Chain A
């Protein structure tokens, strides 16, 4: 089958002869991929920043597909079902899953206890091949995969596997109260969704800060946000303080993670010398920009083992940090309702529809922000097979 094949940092090959996945466990399903997205967090893998990313692996944790085969223990899914597959591999029965922390499953990732199991996200995420391929093995098929509701656009369905719930949870974690001013650092797909959903929780002002002008323009239209380029500022923290009556934002959301730009020190130590797990610039700004007693929501991905962050300010300001990988299954009913009722149309952020065969180009375009790309969608050649 065709599959994306990681060959090293910034090097992706289209593998034309990857063996098709097989059922390995009674609760497995095999899914023929119909749509797949490249996530901003895939770029951390692409840039070589996530430990235990092995050559030959297939990335991709946002995909929809048609069930082609099921294991002997699968009861809820049938061959032919068209499903959206949340990026979390979740057993449904460990204490974390039972308390709806599906992103923190205890039975899906042998390699790391700090991380749940995710499709196509290195061995740090459990060593599963992902959905940037024609077929995928989907473990615990009865738990997270969800039949695509009748009438839902396929592009909206695939966005429900990660970016929509992740953006929603970023806002939800912020504990936003009616009337709050919310600052979102990062105008990538997750930041845009977080900004859009901040209004759902009653925000009175939503401010997005990034350095890519076309994305800021998109934030104004898609997320109804005030959007500013930090390259037009000497000090983004001072800007937020002044913009919030020298009080600080009620809630700050770090929707960037370890690939942040904006600080030479963080760039050199985090992205150049790898002395920390990428650059923590956005988190630094978020902690310093939020009000005393405010909440910082971290949804951007950081690798282990550590990052430079102002813990002293965190303690002295009495800040609450809330962070987690999105628990997609928990959020799906609410988000399906938001989409089906027309309150949000996330597919507006898909700017590029690219054949799987051109996956190398797609990664480079997304990484270098070429051609005003916001969210690239991959379409495998067998997407429309009978």
Chain B
């Protein structure tokens, strides 16, 4: 990815180029700005346009929250935001997969689908971590089966019976296949 244009373009030039154009180039463009209408803003009233967009990133910022943990950040921004959430830093195999995902922009499927993959790996890591810490997951509570039993018993029983039946049928089928071999 090294030689692609997005990796070689000079950064933070947008306002410099825009100001230069406003100073010189736009004068020579017939009709420039004559139909500009500040009220033609489809985002109103959600956005109260005041021109701050053209400051780009040159606004007054809060002090930086100390970066005392690993914080992944989108490649579409120049760095970490002044504050960030400190919940669950990346770790283990899922963390490695997340680090890979964050090399790609938010416009790519690679970024998001890799994060979904990392999430699924993280679930397995969570179960392994539970077991190593002597915690036995309690699906009755944690999966809300207790609530289903209380409020939706017939459907819950029928779903559980169907699942049990399918698992038994699958196991029997496997056993039969193994016997044939």
Task: Report A's interface with B, CB cutoff 8 A.
Answer: 7-13, 24-28, 48, 51-58, 73, 89, 91, 93-95, 98-101, 106-114, 117, 123-129, 137, 139-140, 169, 172-173, 274, 277, 303-306, 320, 322, 324, 327, 330, 360-365, 367-368, 370-371
How far apart are B61's CB and chain A's nearest CB, in angstroms? 6
The answer on a CB contact under 8 Å between B147 and A54 is no
Judged by a CB distance under 8 angstroms, whether B109 is at the interface is yes
Q: What 0/1 pattern do residues 75 to 118 of B give for CB contact below 8 A with A?
A: 01101111111111010001000100110001111011101101
How far apart are B166's CB and chain A's nearest CB, in angstroms? 17
**Which of B16-24, B26-34, B39-47 has 4 or more CB atoms under 8 Å from chain A?**
B39-47
In the assembled complex, which residues on chain B have CB atoms less than 8 Å from the CB atom of A172? 45-46
Known A-B contacts A107-B61, A108-B83, A320-B42; A100 and B47 likewise in contact (beta carbons under 8 Å):
yes
Judged by a CB distance under 8 angstroms, whether B170 is at the interface is no
In the assembled complex, which residues on chain A have CB atoms less than 8 Å from the CB atom of B61? 91, 93-94, 107
The answer on a CB contact under 8 Å between A27 and B46 is no
Among residues of B, the one whose C-beta sits closest to the C-beta of A7 is: B126
The answer on a CB contact under 8 Å between B83 and A364 is no
How far apart are A21's CB and chain B's nearest CB, in angstroms? 8
The answer on a CB contact under 8 Å between B116 and A95 is no
How far apart are B144's CB and chain A's nearest CB, in angstroms? 2
Contact of B62 among A107, A109, A277 (CB under 8 A): A107
In the assembled complex, which residues on chain A have CB atoms less than 8 Å from the CB atom of B125? 55
Among residues of A, the one whose C-beta sits closest to the C-beta of B46 is: A324
Q: Which 4 A-B pairs have the closest CB atoms?
A: A364-B144, A127-B85, A128-B85, A8-B123
20 more contacts with CB within 8 A, not counting A100-B48, A123-B72, are A7-B137, A11-B142, A48-B119, A51-B116, A52-B98, A53-B119, A56-B87, A91-B61, A98-B59, A99-B50, A108-B83, A109-B84, A110-B73, A123-B87, A126-B81, A126-B84, A305-B112, A322-B46, A367-B144, A371-B151
In the assembled complex, which residues on chain B have CB atoms less than 8 Å from the CB atom of A98? 50, 52, 59
In the assembled complex, which residues on chain B have CB atoms less than 8 Å from the CB atom of A100? 46-48
The answer on a CB contact under 8 Å between A114 and B142 is no
